[in-house]
Amino acid sequence: MSSPIQPIKENASMVVFGASGDLAKKKTFPALFSLFKDGRLSSDLVIVGYARSKIEPNDFIERITQFIKIDDNDSETKQKLEQFKKMCTYYRGSYDGVDSFQGLNNHLLEREGDREERNRVFYLALPPDVFVSVSTQLKQQCYPQKGAARLIIEKPFGFDLDSARDLQSKLNPLFDENEIYRIDHYLGKEMVQNLTHLRFCNPVISHLWNKESISNVQITFKEPIGTEGRGGYFDTSTIVRDIVQNHLVQVLSLIAMEPPTSLAAGDLRDAKVQALRRTRLGDLKDVVFGQYVKSKDGKRPGYLDDDTVPEGSKCPTYSAIPFFVDNDRWDGVPFLLKAGKAMDVGKVEVRVQFKPVANGLFKDAHRNELVIRIQPNEAVYFKLDIKQPGISSKPLLTDLDLTYKNRFTNMKLHEAYEALFFDAFAGDQSRFARIDELECAWSLVGPLLEYMEKEKPQPAPYEYGSNGPELLGNFLQKFGYVYDIPDYYEYPVTNLPDDK
């Protein structure tokens, strides 16, 4: 058994590679600031942004703090921001040159000063083709002689099963598995973390979590924007690699897994891997592929109108894919993974639909559903029937609603990246993907990727801003989903879960 990973509490440095990029300014540095402000980072932390671009020190600070919003009257936070700015510097270098990494090491040594140990966290927010060269240079030039090293790697980890294995085989001689933190930022989201608690703290849920009670499970990702400007990347990635293989399969594994022996990273990831090993893709002919076309009013462009997209591309920007988990708990229950760009709304949710009540007393009862809304406006609500209030015996579909913002006052939910960076410093890998999880996820979508590559199926068109291809209705029906039109509007009600 490997020894537990020690948390990094002090003598810490973090290098953000790709610091000139989008993710760095929008997510990484705001998340680091938030952790710092809440006292969750060591006060001696040295933060270095690293990239090839020429950026003046002041411009760098300006750049990485532009998305940090502080209330005008909040002088305490403003003061913290000034402190944070002093912790951050920029170092310019290449992603493969020995000189650059020797220079980075010297820069770190200078900033770190005399320390008994040097704990270094390297975060690779970079295109995957430079992961190996950067990791190699880090090992050779910047790996601490005394102290801990962590290598946080952004997605995508590989392009398919073979390339993921190949990447891992190149990292193997450089960093131990317990030094590698593979990001799937969905694992840092509050409601994704919540799945384990909902399932295993509540007998009322855990006892129903099986094929006897559950008819079908939908995991839905909808984004209201298209691939604007990212068409080059997206066209080879497709919605399957961009969203399904990683974010949605991770959510599936947390829903489908058996109770882990403990919540420790090893046990939790074992349970997820076991579930994924029993999961298979449904029939390829049932998969729905879609590609968005111009919006109804013609104002939003179609996927093919993007200059960065190859002419006539058949890249799916939408997919609805059935999966099955072949074990005693889930035999025959479809897990429907739906993901789309340029949709009517932005929403990510898990919708667990229960089997119908036995025929008998009521002919007009509705299906129960447990909905976990991951974003936006985090919520858990349970749709159930009550007697229609008043002189009536009709079942009325309503819900027990736990919308977080209504339930918890002064609630501050963390951003996914905050939780993940916090865990990386703490040495907790439970919310990072282990290599065998990723291999399972790639194997799971492998036949689909192969089919897309060989057959090049024509995706069904759907308008930008719509609910996806029309075929979706048949798809859901086929897998047993029953859409009960809610009776909410027959009654003036308050506090509806706001996706109604």
Question: Which spans of this chain sit near ligand NDP (rule: CB under 6 A)?
Answer: 18, 20-24, 51-53, 95, 125-127, 130, 154-156, 183, 185
277-286 core/surface letters (b: 16 or more CB in 10 A; e: else): bbbebbeeeb
DSSP H helix total and E strand total for the chain: 16, 16
Locate 39 and state its tokens.
């006292």
Query: Contacts by 95-101 with C-beta closer than 8 Å and gap 24+?
Result: 95/17, 95/52, 95/126, 95/130, 95/133, 95/134, 95/137, 96/130, 96/133, 96/134, 96/137, 97/137, 98/137, 98/140, 98/141, 100/137, 101/137, 101/138, 101/140, 101/141, 101/142
How far, in whole angstroms, is CA 65 from its chain's centroid?
23
> Cβ 445 to ligand BG6, closest distance in Å?
15
Select the binding partner of residue 235 from ligand NDP, ligand BG6, none (C-beta < 5 to 8 A, by kind).
none
Select the binding partner of residue 95 from ligand BG6, ligand NDP, none (C-beta < 5 to 8 A, by kind).
ligand NDP
SS (H, E, C) 433-451: ECHHHHHHHHHHHHHHHHH
Task: Count the residues of the shown chain that bind ligand BG6, applying the rule CB under 6 A.
Answer: 4
Comparing every residue's Cβ against ligand BG6, the nearest one is 242
Select the binding partner of residue 242 from ligand BG6, ligand NDP, none (C-beta < 5 to 8 A, by kind).
ligand BG6
User: DSSP code of 469?
Assistant: -
The DSSP H or E segment spanning 338 is strand 334-340
Radius of gyration of the chain (CA): 24
Residues 437-496 that bind ligand BG6 (CB under 6 A): none
Select the binding partner of residue 223 from ligand NDP, ligand BG6, none (C-beta < 5 to 8 A, by kind).
ligand BG6
Q: Which positions from 178 to 217 touch ligand BG6 by CB under 6 A, shown as an x/- string?
A: ----------------------------------------
Nearer to ligand BG6, 104 or 424 (CB): 424
Residue 463 corresponds to which amino acid? E
Q: Which of 323, 301, 302 is nearest to 313 (CA)?
A: 302
> Cβ 155 to ligand BG6, closest distance in Å?
6
> Cβ 225 to ligand BG6, closest distance in Å?
8
CA dist list (Å): 277 to 274, 343, 440: 5, 32, 6
Whole-angstrom distance, CA of residue 77 vs CA of residue 68: 11
Residues 237-266 that bind ligand BG6 (CB under 6 A): 242
Q: Which positions from 117 to 156 touch ligand BG6 by CB under 6 A, shown as an x/- string?
A: --------------------------------------x-
Select the binding partner of residue 127 from ligand BG6, ligand NDP, none (C-beta < 5 to 8 A, by kind).
ligand NDP
> Does 378 interact with ligand BG6 (rule: CB under 6 A)?
no
> Cβ 223 to ligand BG6, closest distance in Å?
6
Q: Which of 328, 251, 213, 335 is nearest to 286 (CA)?
A: 335
Q: Which of 160, 179, 223, 235 binds ligand BG6 (CB under 6 A)?
A: 223
Give residue 341's region: left, alpha or beta (phi > 0; psi -120 to 50). beta
CB 464 within 8 A of CB 295: yes
Nearer to ligand NDP, 41 or 420 (CB): 420
CB 118 within 8 A of CB 144: yes
Select the binding partner of residue 379 from ligand BG6, ligand NDP, none (C-beta < 5 to 8 A, by kind).
none
185, 247, 366, 414: the active-site residue: 247
Give residue 213's region: left, alpha or beta (phi > 0; psi -120 to 50). alpha
Select the binding partner of residue 51 from ligand BG6, ligand NDP, none (C-beta < 5 to 8 A, by kind).
ligand NDP
User: DSSP code of 158?
Assistant: -
Nearer to ligand NDP, 20 or 250 (CB): 20
> Cβ 244 to ligand BG6, closest distance in Å?
11
Select the binding partner of residue 21 from ligand NDP, ligand BG6, none (C-beta < 5 to 8 A, by kind).
ligand NDP
> Cβ 480 to ligand NDP, closest distance in Å?
32
> Cβ 242 to ligand BG6, closest distance in Å?
5
> Cβ 469 to ligand NDP, closest distance in Å?
25
Locate 273 and state its tokens.
């891997």
Residues 324-353 that bind ligand BG6 (CB under 6 A): 348
| Phi, psi dihedral angles at 454 (to 5 degrees) | -80, -50
Active site residue 366: no
Nearer to ligand BG6, 105 or 375 (CB): 375
Nearer to ligand NDP, 31 or 51 (CB): 51
Helix then strand then coil, % of the chain, to nearest 5: 40, 20, 40
Applying CB under 6 A, the residues found at the interface with ligand BG6 are 155, 223, 242, 348
Residues annotated as catalytic (active site), given as ranges? 247
